[in-house]
Amino acid sequence: MPAPKTNRVFMDGVWHENPVFRQVLGICSTLAVTNLLRNTLVMVAGLIWTAAMANVTFSLLRNATPRRIRIMVQVLVISTYVIVLHLVLQAYLPEISRDLGPYVGLIITNCILMGRLEAFASSNPPWPSFVDGIGCGVGYGFILIGIAVVREILGFGTVLGFPVMGAWWTRWTLMVMPAGAFFMLGVFVWACRRIWMAGEGKEKPA
Amino acid sequence: MIDFLLAILPSVAFLSLMAGVLALLLVIAEAHISNYGECKIVVNDEKEIAIAGGQSLLASLAARGIFLPSACGGRGTCAYCKAKVLEGGGPLLPTEEPYLTDDERKENVRLACQVKVRNDLKIDIPEELFNIREYRARVARIADLTYDIKELRLELTRPETIKFKAGQYVQLRAPKYPGNNQEAYRAYSVASPPSDNRAIELVIRKVPGGVCTTYVFEHLKEGDEVVFNGPYGEFTLCASDAQVVLVAGGSGFAPIRAMLLDNPEELERRNARFFFGANEKRDLFYTDLMKDITEKHPGIEFIPVLSRPSNGWDGETGLITQALERRLENADGKEFYLCGSPGMIDACVAIFTKKGASDDAIFYDKFA
Amino acid sequence: MSPPYTPLVILVGAAFTENILLVNYLGMCSFLGVSREMKAAAGLGAAVTLVLSVSCTLNYLVNTYVLMRLDMLHLQFIAFMLIIAATVQLLEMIIERFSPRLYYALGIFLPLITVNCAILGVCLFMSIRNYNLAQSAAYGAGSGVGWWLAIVAMAGIRQRLQTARLPKGLDGPGITLIIAGIMALAFTGLAGMLNIR
């Protein structure tokens, strides 16, 4: 099929087919790391990089891979890049690496990556696949950053470690606990879906 | 660069070794665990066959020369392969449930493609199925009917003749070939009349990625030997005085052609009208044949319906359901025969029912 | 070296105070997807528990006696994934052979579980916290039970929700996440009861 236009591919990843609120993928790490904006930014950068690289690599391999071992090859490709990412983080940002804990490793099982490799990179040329990886990463990223900003401000009164709320603010500790993460994500998904439905509702049913 | 490669060499070697060991363990495990030993299947209380367990009942019977009909190749979607499993079939599976009525369940009717042979079985199948044979034939001719439909003429070698009724189908075997490492059978209606009993003709439409159609379109050559079994099916012309309405799309033309060539006088007597649905002019085929038949038998009408006609088309346009709606006044005294995709058939059946047709006047052959 | 908790404490702790789904956010994707219907939820939960118990134990063995000895700890991710994939395939074979009934109850979920983040996550947590063999087995089993509990509870609630009228855009993942939040709140009440880190 003709290669899709780059712009469309990117916007699909960011909004129309946003992995978090449209496809409901990659939720695990979304909830886990969004209690601090600093950790979130590192995670998002890591995921964008891994998604783009894995997409490109698998797209280059797509015609050489027999059908039977496709999933194994996908897992191997993603794992390799995640291992590299993990080692880089351990070396240059050890504190953040400790905070993120196993969730960097869990990028391997992050449904977004496996899903995109199967749905896009397996049948598209390298450049659109690369863009798609970046698009999905950005789509995932802006939601995470949105949630993290809210959680950190309400929960700690800070943004990136800098106090913004002043001494009068009683911290909403609930926000940095798991319950808060679920609530925030639920509300975000709801809000995004409403906006999306309003925009697209005329074209296609939700 | 060399340093880098040397540095990652131990890791790569370790992982390859680990993957290899695990794969080996799994293969050994499969050989021992999934080994069901030899199982005995008693058929109709008269025939006993022995076969290694582990395969579906459908495949196991086929391996011993008993062929149950199947249009979907064992995927569990056509429900043609029903058989009574009296003993040893295990619990009813969720994949079988939608296709069995309560009465059938009480009688232990199962889908043979879903029942796995793990132990001895006792089954009951219709007697006619014993008459289904395996045939070997030589490809006498491969002709292009359209850009994605081919006609195959297969001349029988062993046995030399075949007895069947117009409208029945056979199951063609697609062997292993590069890109496909498992044999499969696919059902195709016979397009030639029973009077031509030393050969059969099939109409095959290319299905992208399809196991059998890829075999036919890319690997089969004139002179090759093929294997098929049959004949199957009850999609044949009923003996009655009712007017006949024939509806087909794509390769669904095949059984209709068999009927037209077999007994055109009967069809003329019954004012047969044949609606053929296609997208564009280039999807039409056998137009010369139909011209010939309608000239010799003016009582038969051929109505091709194009949904995307180009300029210069003066026949019916639109979807086949729209044409039927327009041309069919009511369903009184008519019988309807349809062959095509499930979607097309369901839509047309709805139209006939709306016009007053009863269920036993509608006959169809759905491709799964 | 390994923390001083008995396996029983770890088992109960993993199911309740450190519920892998409601506290550690693992296994969310299939949780959101499969929690609509009770039968499917129970089946998937059982399958996850089984796979977790077996693979956590196996991964402990591989981690301690292979990866550490050969100084290949950096390959932990891939090694664990390979073991998990092999475990799932082996379990599928064994269950199909010895209990067709069980196979049709939960066997169809098994291939999905290979890429379920809960499995890899639990194994990684086990490695980070330096559990010993008994503790790893208990942690795997307890985590599975906890996940099973959460998904079955969610399925029960969602089945009741079917007759409720929800604001547009909220049904599906939206409301499920909010309900999960309330469940997480409930489980927070158990926090501090047992420490297994």
Each residue of B235-260: pLDDT tens digit? Answer: 888 888 889 999 998 888 999 999 99
- CA nearest neighbour of C51 among C151, C148, C125: C148
Q: Is residue A163 part of a domain?
A: yes
Each residue of B29-71: pLDDT tens digit? Answer: 888 877 778 889 998 888 888 988 888 888 888 888 888 887 6
Residues B230-267: b if buried by 16+ CB within 10 A, e if exposed: bbbbebbbeeeeebbbbbbbbbbbbbbbbbbbbbbeeb
Strand-pair category, B133-144 with B169-174: unpaired
Give the per-residue pLDDT at B367: 66
Please tell me whether the peptide bond between A66 and the residue prior to it is cis, using omega within 30 degrees of 0: no
Residues B48-67: b if buried by 16+ CB within 10 A, e if exposed: ebebebbbbbbbbbbeeebb
Give the per-residue pLDDT at A203: 45
Give the per-residue pLDDT at A206: 41
Helices (H), B224-365: 253-262, 264-269, 287-296, 320-327, 342-354
Answer yes or no: is pLDDT of A21 > 80: no
Answer yes or no: is pLDDT of A169 > 50: yes
B19 versus C8: the higher-pLDDT residue is: C8
Give the per-residue pLDDT at A4: 64
Q: What percent of chain C has pLDDT over 70?
A: 97
Tokens of B286: 């056998």
Name the interface residues of B facing C (CB cutoff 8 Å): 10-11, 14-15, 18-19, 22, 25-26, 29-30, 33-34, 36, 90-91, 93-94, 116, 118
Give CA–CA dist B156/B217, Å, rounded.
20
Strand-pair category, B243-249 with B225-232: unpaired
Name which of C39, C59, C72, C110 to mutate to probe chain B: the one with the most chain B Cβ atoms within 10 A of its Cβ: C72
> Which residue in A28, A106, A194 is closest to C168 by CB distance?
A194
C183 versus C102: the higher-pLDDT residue is: C183
Answer yes or no: is pLDDT of B200 > 80: yes
Q: Which domains does chain B have, with CATH numbers?
A: 38-129 (3.10.20.30), 132-232 (2.40.30.10), 243-366 (3.40.50.80)
Give the per-residue pLDDT at C138: 94
Any bridge partners for residue B48, and if so which? B42
Q: Is residue A173 part of a domain?
A: yes
Name which of A162-171, C4-13, C68-77 the model is least confident about. Answer: A162-171
Answer yes or no: is pLDDT of B147 > 50: yes
Name which of B177-186, B355-364, C58-67 the model is least confident about. Answer: B177-186
Specify the number of domains making up chain A.
1
Predicted ipTM of the assembly: 0.81
Q: What's this model's pTM, rounded to 2 decimal places?
A: 0.64
Please report residues of B whose CB lies closer than 8 A to that of C70: 14
Q: Is residue A121 part of a domain?
A: yes
Give the per-residue pLDDT at B136: 92
- CA nearest neighbour of C17 among C7, C27, C9: C9
Each residue of C33-65: pLDDT tens digit? Answer: 778 888 888 888 888 999 999 999 999 999 998
Each residue of B165-181: pLDDT tens digit? Answer: 899 999 898 888 887 77
Please give the full DSSP string across A66-107, using - where no structure is assigned.
Answer: -GGGHHHHHHHHHHHHHHHHHHHHHHH-HHHHHHHGGGTGGG
Smallest CA–CA separation between C2 and chain B, in Å?
27
Name which of A137-146, B205-214, C95-104 the model is least confident about. Answer: C95-104
Is A106 an interface residue toward C (CB < 8 Å)?
A: yes
Is C4 an interface residue toward A (CB < 8 Å)?
A: no
Helix (H) or strand (E) holding C144: helix C133-161
Each residue of A73-86: pLDDT tens digit? Answer: 888 888 889 988 99
Give CA–CA dist A55/A77, Å, rounded.
9
Interior CA angle at B188 toward B187 and B190, to 5°? 135
Instruction: Tell me what the mean pLDDT of segment C132-161 comes to.
Output: 93
Give the per-residue pLDDT at A3: 55
Is A18 an interface residue toward C (CB < 8 Å)?
A: no
Smallest CA–CA separation between B36 and chain C, in Å?
8
Name which of A68-72, B90-94, B312-316, C65-69 the model is least confident about. Answer: A68-72
Please provide the size of chain C in residues. Answer: 197
Answer yes or no: is pLDDT of A67 > 70: no
Quote the domain boundaries for residue A77. 8-200
